[in-house]
Amino acid sequence: MQQKEKEILNLIKLKNEEITKLKKELNEIRTLSITEEEREKEKIQREKTFNGLSAKEWAMLSRSVWNDVSSARKEKHISHGATFPQKLAERVIEMYSKENDLVFDPFVGTGTTLFAADKLKRNSIGIELNEEFIDYINQEKNNKQFQIIKGDCLDKIKKICNESIQLTFTSPPYANLLLKVQDDRTNRHKHSKIVEDNNSSAKPYSKDIKDFGNMSLEDYSKNVLKLMKKIYLKTKPGGYNIWVVKDFRDSQNNIPYIDLHSLIANLGEKAGFKYHDLIIWDQNEQRSLILLGYPSVFYVNQNHSYLVVLRK
Ligand SMILES: C[S@@+](CC[C@H](N)C(=O)[O-])C[C@H]1O[C@@H](n2cnc3c(N)ncnc32)[C@H](O)[C@@H]1O
């Protein structure tokens, strides 16, 4: 039975990949079949827009729920444990910046934002505390022009010029919440498939006290606010600041829901940004469902993240 299930899941995955490929081909055919007049019209539109998109591209990218941004994970992604897909970074960069703009990631990890920015001809700067992750970036950097700064983003951000950033795109650590959730899961479900099946590879990034992943929620909030204020100063008027976060439960302390995305949005607003938009990144296709609270309390699986879009 399990074998049959695996076969079907594999088949679904292959079919989905096929559909994505066909959609891409269809788009290419449509692009090729547009008339010279339409091409000229699109060129004029691209020159007018702040992000270099035509009206059609603009409309196509304006969905509020995304389920088509996963990309294959390499060894470095698995080893880091909390990277986002390059496709996700590329989509955001295409929407909120244009060629030669400056893109910034204060928690750059394995450099996903930098590689995406380079592919789309944007300049970019990333800060990372953990040397191990910087090594991953350098292994693949070759002659790419982006800049990596080692150290604490709260301090190193001073190296960036005021009002120079068009887009900040980042996924921050989640205070020490992730560790609590991980402990809890491992202790309660020691030998169960719940832990294995959920691909839960969350682990501390470092032992450094400056690591946002080692802070209590209270210290974390204070430091995120400090960072938001500094990002505000460095952002161009009209520029964007987008944080990818997931909401949580802390069942050890009997807290059923921690609304992290609202916390981030509020701290951004306190720092001066406008809460501009909220995008849902649906990850149900990439995650197995786990049994939560059974048989007495019903919880849903939080299989999505939020992109909190702030604007100066
Ligand atoms: C969720 S991960 C980012 C992953 C990244 N988006 C990627 O795709 O690889 C958060 C990163 O923030 C780093 N970090 C934590 N505290 C930091 C700080 N104070 N300054 C700079 N980086 C920090 C961690 O080492 C970790 O790599």
Ligand 1 nearest atom to the CA of residue 106, by list position? 21
**What are the structural domains of the chain?**
73-311 (3.40.50.150)
Residue 219's contacts (CB-CB under 8 Å, 6 or more residues apart) are 175
pTM, entire model: 0.86
Q: pLDDT tens track of the chain, all 312 residues?
A: 678 888 888 888 888 888 888 888 888 887 777 788 888 999 999 999 999 999 999 999 999 999 999 776 677 676 666 789 999 999 999 999 999 999 999 999 999 999 999 999 999 999 999 999 999 999 999 999 999 999 999 999 999 999 999 999 999 998 886 665 555 555 544 443 333 333 444 567 778 899 999 999 999 999 999 999 999 999 999 999 999 999 988 877 888 999 999 999 999 999 999 999 999 999 988 888 999 989 999 999 999 999 999 999
Cα–ligand 1 centroid distance for 151 (angstroms): 10
Q: How far is CA 210 from CA 103, 175, 181, 230, 282, in A?
A: 23, 11, 21, 16, 31
Residue nearest ligand 1's atom 8 by CA: 83
Q: Helices 260-270 and 217-234: crossing angle, nearest 10°?
A: 50
**Distance separating alpha carbons of residues 175 and 133, to the nearest angstrom:** 19
Q: How far is the CA of 105 from the centre of ligand 1 (A)?
A: 9
Residue 128 belongs to what H/E stretch? strand 123-128
Atom of ligand 1 nearest to the CA of 208: 16
Query: Which residues surround ligand 1 with Cβ inside 6 Å?
Result: 80, 82-84, 107, 109-110, 112, 127-130, 133, 152-154, 171, 173, 205-206, 210-213
